[in-house]
Amino acid sequence: MPEGHVLEFTEVTKTFGPVTAVDGFSARVEPGVVTGFLGPNGAGKTTSLRILLGLVGTSSGTATIGGKRYRDLRHPLQTVGAALEASSFHPGRTAANHLAVYARASGLPRARVDEALGLVGLGDVAGRKVGGFSLGMRQRLGLAYTLLGDPGVLVLDEPANGLDPEGIKWMRGFLRELARQGRTVLVSSHLLAEIQQSADALLVIARGRLVFQGALDELTTQDEHATLVDAPDRAALTTALTDAGVPYEVLRSGLSVPGAEPAAVGAIAATAGIALSALQRRGPALEEVFLALVNGERVHPSAGDAPDPQPDPQPDPQPDPHTDAVEEGDVR
């Protein structure tokens, strides 16, 4: 089994003329887990990945794979498999020949071409020209390229683009399996929802800087929660909450009572004699936390030398003895 390597960005800065695309970016990616690399468009994800792969030079800092720069790897495709865009093909070349070209460049046997195509489910179209491929098939061919050398490190830039729901599900399972085998898997995306189901660890980049690094569940703290409550007679419920002096937000699916426990909210309703149709504890929406990190409204301690590291700007919640007993809620 190929061994995974640690990927390490150390104070990477890249300027394109007056634009600073990556700004003192430091991060570490461990083998054995799927690491999501998240950030809005233009945050510097692709540039960081291209720097890691030696396609773009740094203005300062280093990016290494198992301690080596990409260009110093003895067998690059046998060490790192990377797919960066879905359009790097000559349309007149067949899928098998496309891979054969790079198998030769890496001294890999031709048999690897068929194996890689089989792994991504393109075995049947090996002899067809890539020009006729759908975007989803091109993504799979890009993935086959990454698997050619059976590498211990996989770097994929927005691999789910153009895949249908079935393909996305397949990709997720595939990446998890590769990580389970001990490989390093780094997957970028600008959509949190896409990463959430497959990634164990997360890097978040915004404006070229690291704003979060850690496990997915470290992104939020347990005490930021709300209780979602609804009743057929919603007007009576709002009156009862207002009378009890409990602040709430009106959502489409009901009322959200921030910081309150379901038991307390249920008690208010019972006292007012209101029948409830829903009562549920809700964790914070990761999407909101992500957006707050990206906008700089929220600063996580894992952020690399944040300009002004401040404690969490959320108001200190009440200590809550029930936290451990309660279910985590629908962290979507």
Partner 1 sequence: MSLVNATRSELAKQFTTSMWWILAIVLVAYVGSTAAGLAAAFGANATGALPGSGSGIPALPEAAIPPLLYSLTTAVGYVFPLLIGVLIVTGEFRHMTLTPTFLATPRRGIALGGKVVAGVGMGVVYALIALVTVVGASAGILTAFGSATLLDEADTWAMLGRIVLSFVLWTLVGIGIGTLVRNQVAAIVGVIAFTQFVEPIVRLVGGIVDGVSAITRFLPGAASDALVGASIYTSLASTGDAGLDWWAGGLMLLGYAGVLLVLGFVFSWRRDVT
Residues that bind partner 1 (CB under 8 A): 47, 50, 53-57, 70-71, 73, 76-77, 80, 82, 84-85, 87-94, 97-98, 100-102, 104-107, 145
Q: Kindly tell me which of 208 and 254 has the beta carbon lying closer to partner 1.
A: 208
| Residue 5: CB minimum distance to partner 1, A | 16
Instruction: Say if CB 305 and CB 13 are below 8 A apart.
Output: no
Q: Tokens standing for 302?
A: 């894992």
Residue 56 or 216 having the CB closest to partner 1: 56
CA-based nearest residue to 69, from 59, 58, 85: 58
CB of 73 to partner 1, least distance (A): 7
Of the candidates 326, 43, 17, the residue with the CA atom closest to the CA atom of residue 192? 43
Which one, 99 or 289, has the nearer CB to partner 1?
99
Nearest residue (CB) to partner 1, 90 versus 169: 90
d(CA 35, CA 33): 6
* Residue closer to partner 1, measured from CB, 57 or 245: 57
Q: Tell me how far apart the alpha carbons of residues 44 and 53 are, in angstroms, rounded to a whole number.
A: 14
**Torsion sign, CA atoms 63, 67, 71, 76:** negative
Cβ proximity to partner 1, 100 vs 269, nearer residue: 100
CB of 91 to partner 1, least distance (A): 7
Nearer to partner 1, 42 or 329 (CB): 42
Provide the 8-state DSSP code for 110. T
Alpha helices in the chain (DSSP H): 45-52, 76-79, 95-105, 111-119, 135-147, 165-180, 192-196, 234-243, 262-272, 286-295
Q: What percent of the chain is helix, strand and coil (3-state, nearest 5)?
A: 35, 25, 40
Contact yes or no for 127/162 (Cβ under 8 A):
no
Q: How far is the CB of 86 from partner 1 (least distance, A)?
A: 10
Residue number, 130 or 201, with CB nearest to partner 1: 130
* Burial of 221 (C-beta count, 10 Å sphere; 0-12/13-18/19+): middle
Structure-block tokens of residue 295: 């906008």
Minimum Å gap between C-beta 135 and partner 1 is 15
- Tokens for 313? 């700007």
Q: How far is the CB of 133 from partner 1 (least distance, A)?
A: 14
Q: What is the closest distance, in whole angstroms, from the C-beta atom of residue 82 to partner 1 in the complex?
A: 6
Check residue 101 and give left, alpha or beta (phi > 0: left; psi -120 to 50: alpha): alpha
Minimum gap (Å) between residue 107 Cβ and partner 1: 5
